[in-house]
Amino acid sequence: MRERPTITIFGGTGDLTFRKLLPALYNRMLSGFAPEGQNIIIIGRRDYTDETYRERAREWVRKFARLPYRDETFDTFAESIHYFQMDFTDPTTYPLLESYLDAQGIKTCVFYFAVAPRFFGTITDGLFQIGHAHGSKVILEKPFGETLEDAHALNKRLEEVFTPENIYRIDHYLGKEMVRNIQTIRFTNPIFADAWDARHIDCIQISAMEDVGVETRGGYYDHSGAIRDMVQNHLFQILSILAMERPAAFTPEAMHTEQLKVLRALRLPDPENISDSMVLGQYAGYREEPNVSPESKTPTYAALKLFVDNERWKDMPFYIRTGKKLGRREMEVAVVFRTPSPEVPPAVLLIKFQPTEGVYLQFNIKRPGEFDEIMPATMDFCQSCSIANRINTPEAYERLLTACFHDERSWFSQWDQIETSWKFVDALEQAYGDRQPDSYMPDTVGPKESDELLAVAGHSWFVEPETKF
């Protein structure tokens, strides 16, 4: 008899499961991507039965699913959900899980570690002990370990227990529609492909601004901060796709090789003058957030000026900024082209990731009328403005779950990428030392020092004009 395709989620009563994983699994079922006979096992410490857990899940799916919620559809979905109560930090409870899985005829499955990284090792050992890791896949949330040494040890253990090809390290930005679109926009349009280098581009800016603060995640965030939470993973993935050479083929392996070369070519800023390359900020009130140390020096904002040391990007800055409580949720990449003279405004390609998905182009025309004045004009393609596009575009977690079931590893981060970026950000943090990040007021665009980071080279953060032509 064929085994039922099963996903077993550790941390089944946490935020990630309720907000992202269950809605994604529901959407997958509605879009026809769920494998036949799909089985979802939820593991949590709390005292639920299958029925009471399903009712809890109903609220979250109703609230967060992309596709329309309907009672009868949810009821069908809910039949695939089973709850298993266990304290996964206690090694003696794993034989009970073994009996539970065996009773359902499950030998292998996709294990999802939706828990804090400090539990990854314990769960891996527990699954090894009961023999259910062999042949199973594992999906891990970041951060991958707590220090580089810790990450090495964890990686070694995971590779022994699950084998390298069965480890899926999730970076949900890789599942975002417009992140997948970068390579198409860049490589299939000669107007961009042929001008994609430091000779034609003045600077590239990657901005990921969030309106929310740390909310209920203070305990995790205070150990992580903006650099490890956003830069090391999500923003470095984007940077490496933007900066990579054209891969020999658009296969996962070829893309991965090129992206890794970019990460390895990142120039380490001079530690003596780190503030010329990095600005860290902390929003006022952060230290009063729940589970945050009152003396915390954790940055909630980071801006970086980086260089990729190769022929294509010779001395051209890549600026990255990200932060919490910045008054808006906006993620975009601005490619600012060189201008023939200082009076001519730059042409700008803006790739918008969220909340709007689209591509905006600013270029120069002659101002209509008698005089030969130059003025910027714009073209604005809004992909997400079409309801059909919105409904048909799966969310990041949906794509990534489907990709894992189909063994599509290009959608996930690879260990050597993680290790390379980890070493880079370790060096940045060491250079910054024990300083207190600059303070900024909530609902502003962050510390003013981040404007100065660009101003020295005559640059400024690109702001899309309000008025359209």
Instruction: Enumerate binding residues for ligand BG6 (CB under 6 A).
Output: 210, 229, 331
Picking from 46, 74, 48, 42, the residue whose alpha carbon sits closest to that of residue 59 is: 74
Secondary structure (3-state) at 304: strand
CB of 134 to ligand BG6, least distance (A): 30
What is the residue whose two structure tokens read 């084998």?
163
The residue (of 232 and 362) whose beta carbon lies closer to ligand BG6 is 232
> For the chain, what is the radius of gyration of the CA atoms?
24
CB of 210 to ligand BG6, least distance (A): 5
The residue (of 242 and 347) whose beta carbon lies closer to ligand BG6 is 242
Are the C-beta atoms of residues 79 and 59 closer than 8 Å to each other?
no
The residue (of 210 and 357) whose beta carbon lies closer to ligand BG6 is 210
User: In sequence order, what are the beta bridge partners of 303?
Assistant: 279, 321
What is the residue whose two structure tokens read 């997948």?
180
CA 314/CA 210 separation, integer angstroms: 31
| Helix H or strand E encompassing 390 | helix 387-392
Backbone angles phi, psi at 304, to 5 degrees: -135, 145
CB of 409 to ligand BG6, least distance (A): 20
CB atoms within 10 A of CB 35: 15
The residue (of 80 and 237) whose beta carbon lies closer to ligand BG6 is 237
Are the C-beta atoms of residues 302 and 226 closer than 8 Å to each other?
yes
CA 209/CA 446 separation, integer angstroms: 9
The residue (of 167 and 235) whose beta carbon lies closer to ligand BG6 is 235
Are the C-beta atoms of residues 263 and 427 closer than 8 Å to each other?
no
CB of 173 to ligand BG6, least distance (A): 7
CA 248/CA 199 separation, integer angstroms: 23
The DSSP code sequence of 239-263 is HHHHHPPPPSSSSHHHHHHHHHHHH
User: In sequence order, what are the beta bridge partners of 365?
Assistant: 375
CB of 334 to ligand BG6, least distance (A): 17
- β pairing state of 330-337 and 348-354: antiparallel
**What are the helix (H) ranges across 136-235?**
148-162, 177-188, 190-193, 218-226
CB of 139 to ligand BG6, least distance (A): 14
The residue (of 323 and 346) whose beta carbon lies closer to ligand BG6 is 323
CA 145/CA 158 separation, integer angstroms: 12
CA 78/CA 68 separation, integer angstroms: 15
ω into 340 cis (within 30 of 0): no
Reply yes or no on whether 82 is catalytic: no
Residue nearest to ligand BG6 (CB): 229
Active-site option among 82, 132, 234, 459: 234
The residue (of 229 and 398) whose beta carbon lies closer to ligand BG6 is 229
The residue (of 82 and 169) whose beta carbon lies closer to ligand BG6 is 169
Q: Quick one: CA torsion of 29, 31, 32, 35, rounded to 10 degrees?
A: -40
CA 207/CA 210 separation, integer angstroms: 10
Active site residues: 234
